[in-house]
């Protein structure tokens, strides 16, 4: 089935860069919400492997993680018949439009990106040009597909805002070319925090540690990580949603809520008078059960090389058809000679 040709449906697009193993944050903040929308939208999801090059990777690891991520997308419920799943570098239009949009994105705008500032502070020995111009490539990723909605976690919202500015600037200069997309973040799970440092986000690129849970973690490791999770130091020892004063507990509640569908009030009631010794393992168990089928399915897909190849090829073909339609329009508008 080819969902691209249904004009009535709105378009949704998002990506994740394969710089580390996917975490519970990637799942609850991104993929889980995507999977729930396949019926309503035409959906495009990709492995942002070109973006991954802004940091140094072991090449073999990058290749493995890119394919593993594709397998995990499918295992998380993204049906490749209903969603266009592809590897960014397999659709060269991304790099091509990325260059054009670099010329319509201002130095001042790029300098203001908080992620650029954070990442340069963390990697002082590798502040490369790609890290700086990254949002222009991200704008290209998005605008090629003319999406209505771009689901992202809180940390990526600023890049989507910049994409809107660049699209509007281009449209003002050359007439309607790009749809101006809206960022969209889930109510719960938009920001899953590190279990040991609940004031920083659970990141797939950080050192392997007990603060982050990966989709492929073994159940015993997940259980251990939740048992060790930081709660609070106010001595109250009660499960209450207060992100300001009890960020660790609030994070665990967000995770539990995202996984079980319970509201914060219901969780407070469920664990009333029970203390963290009961609450933490319960969150761990809920996460283990949510991730178990995903891990098992992803492992199965990873073993089926022929299926993975077909997925890559079909996804890139479908994506290219739409992407090149936009790129041709852009090239013409800016004055490049048609091939
Ligand atoms: P990346 O790879 O850092 O993260 C992928 C998506 O997961 C969300 N996310 C989280 N949400 C909640 N809690 C967390 N701890 C957490 N960690 C990550 C991110 O907000 C993001 O939505 N530049 C993008 C990738 C990208 C992209 C795009 C996204 C490239 N082109 C076009 C959308 C559209 C990135 O680095 O995300």
Q: pLDDT, tens digit, for every residue of 209-262? A: 889 999 999 999 999 999 999 998 767 788 999 999 999 999 999 999 999 999
CA 187 to chain CA centroid, nearest Å: 15
Q: How far is the CA of 333 from the centre of ligand 1 (A)?
A: 31
Closest CA to 114 of 167, 154, 57: 154
Q: Is 10 a catalytic residue?
A: no
Measure 153 CA to ligand 1 centroid, in angstroms. 6
Q: Ligand 1 pocket check: which of 26, 211, 212 to mutate, most ligand atoms within 8 Å of Cβ?
A: 26
The percent of the chain in helix, strand and coil, each rounded to the nearest 5, is 55, 10, 35
pLDDT tens string 139-197 = 999 999 999 999 988 889 999 999 999 999 999 999 999 999 998 887 766 789 999 99
User: For residue 6, how many C-alpha atoms fall within 13 Å in the half-sphere facing its CB?
Assistant: 15
Q: Residue 207: what pLDDT?
A: 65
The closest alpha carbon to 325, from 143, 100, 135, 153, belongs to: 143
User: Could you tell me the CA-to-CA distances from 178 to 200, 201, 317 in Å, in that order?
Assistant: 35, 32, 21
Which of 9, 17, 82, 119 is catalytic? The answer is 119
* Closest alpha carbon to 311 in 87, 63, 145, 151: 87
Cβ-proximal residues to 171 (8 Å cutoff; 6+ apart), any chain = 177, 178, 180
User: Which residue has its alpha carbon closest to ligand 1 atom 7?
Assistant: 26
Candidates 17, 201, 225, 280; catalytic one: 201
Both tokens of residue 129? Answer: 């040009």
Asked if the model's pLDDT at residue 204 lies above 50, the reply is: yes
Which pLDDT belongs to residue 87? Answer: 98
User: Closest Cα to atom 36, ligand 1: which residue?
Assistant: 17
- How far does the centroid of ligand 1 lie from the alpha carbon of residue 331, in Å? 28
Residues in CB range of 250: below 8 A, 6 or more apart: 198, 241, 242, 243
Residues with C-beta less than 6 Å from any ligand 1 atom: 14-17, 25-26, 29-30, 48, 51, 138, 141-142, 150, 152-153, 155-156, 190-192, 201-202
**Residues 283-315: tens digit of each pLDDT:** 999 999 999 999 999 999 999 999 999 999 999
Mean pLDDT score, 132-139: 98
Residue 189 CA: which ligand 1 atom is closest?
A: 12
- Please tell me the residue having the least CA distance from ligand 1 atom 31: 138
Q: In this predicted model, what pLDDT tens digit does every residue of 24-75 receive, in sequence order?
A: 999 998 898 888 888 899 999 999 999 999 999 999 999 999 999 999 999 9
Q: Which of 17, 204, 246, 280 is catalytic?
A: 204
Model confidence, pTM: 0.91
Q: Is the dihedral of CA 7, 11, 15, 21 positive or negative?
A: negative
Q: Whose CA is nearest to atom 5 of ligand 1?
A: 16
Using the predicted structure, report yes or no on whether residue 334 has a pLDDT greater than 70. yes
**β-strand partners of 84:** 44
- Residue bearing the CA closest to ligand 1, atom 8: 153
* Ligand 1 atom closest to residue 154's alpha carbon, by position in its atom list: 20
For residue 26, the CA-to-ligand 1 centroid distance in Å is 7
- Atom index in ligand 1 nearest the CA of residue 192 equals 13
The atom of ligand 1 lying closest to the CA of 137 is 31
Pick the more confident residue, 113 or 339.
Answer: 113
**pLDDT computed for residue 237 by the predictor:** 80
Reply yes or no on whether 119 is catalytic.
Answer: yes
Q: Could you tell me the distance, in angstroms and rounded to a whole number, from the CA of residue 271 to the centre of ligand 1?
A: 32
Is the CB of residue 80 less than 8 Å from the CB of residue 311?
Answer: yes
Residue 135 has a pLDDT of 98
| Alpha-carbon gap, residue 12 to 326, rounded angstroms | 16
Kindly state the tokens that stand for 309. 């190849």
Q: Is 262 left (phi over 0), alpha (psi -120 to 50) or beta?
A: beta
């Amino acid at each position: 089935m080819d969902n691209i040709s249904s004009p009535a449906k709105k378009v949704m697009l998002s990506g994740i860069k394969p710089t580390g193993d996917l975490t519970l944050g990637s799942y609850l903040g991104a993929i889980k919400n995507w999977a729930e929308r396949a019926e309503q939208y035409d959906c495009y999801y990709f492995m942002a492997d070109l973006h991954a090059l802004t940091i140094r990777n072991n090449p073999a690891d990058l290749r493995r993680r890119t394919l593993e991520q594709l397998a995990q997308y499918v295992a998380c419920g993204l049906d490749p018949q209903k969603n266009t799943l592809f590897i960014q570098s397999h659709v060269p239009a991304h790099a091509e439009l990325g260059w054009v949009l670099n010329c319509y994105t201002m130095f001042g705008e790029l300098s203001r990106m908080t992620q650029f500032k954070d990442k340069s502070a963390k990697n002082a020995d590798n502040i490369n040009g790609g890290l700086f111009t990254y949002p222009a490539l991200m704008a290209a990723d998005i605008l090629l597909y003319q999406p209505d909605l771009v689901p992202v976690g809180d940390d990526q919202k600023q890049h989507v805002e910049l994409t809107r500015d660049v699209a509007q600037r281009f449209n003002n200069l050359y007439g309607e070319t790009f749809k101006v997309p809206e960022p969209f973040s889930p109510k719960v799970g938009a920001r899953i925090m590190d279990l040991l440092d609940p004031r920083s986000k659970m990141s797939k690129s950080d050192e392997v540690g007990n603060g982050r849970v990966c989709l492929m973690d073994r159940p015993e490791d997940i259980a251990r990580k939740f048992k060790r999770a930081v709660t609070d130091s106010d001595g109250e020892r009660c499960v209450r949603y207060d992100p300001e004063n009890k960020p660790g507990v609030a994070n665990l509640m967000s995770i539990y809520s995202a996984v079980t569908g319970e509201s914060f009030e219901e969780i407070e009631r469920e664990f009333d008078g029970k203390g963290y010794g009961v609450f933490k393992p319960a969150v761990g168990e809920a996460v283990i059960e949510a991730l178990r089928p995903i891990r098992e399915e992803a492992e199965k897909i990873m073993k089926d090389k022929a299926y993975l190849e077909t997925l890559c090829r079909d996804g890139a073909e479908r994506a290219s058809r739409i992407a090149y339609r936009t790129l041709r329009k852009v090239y013409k508008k800016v004055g490049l000679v048609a091939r």
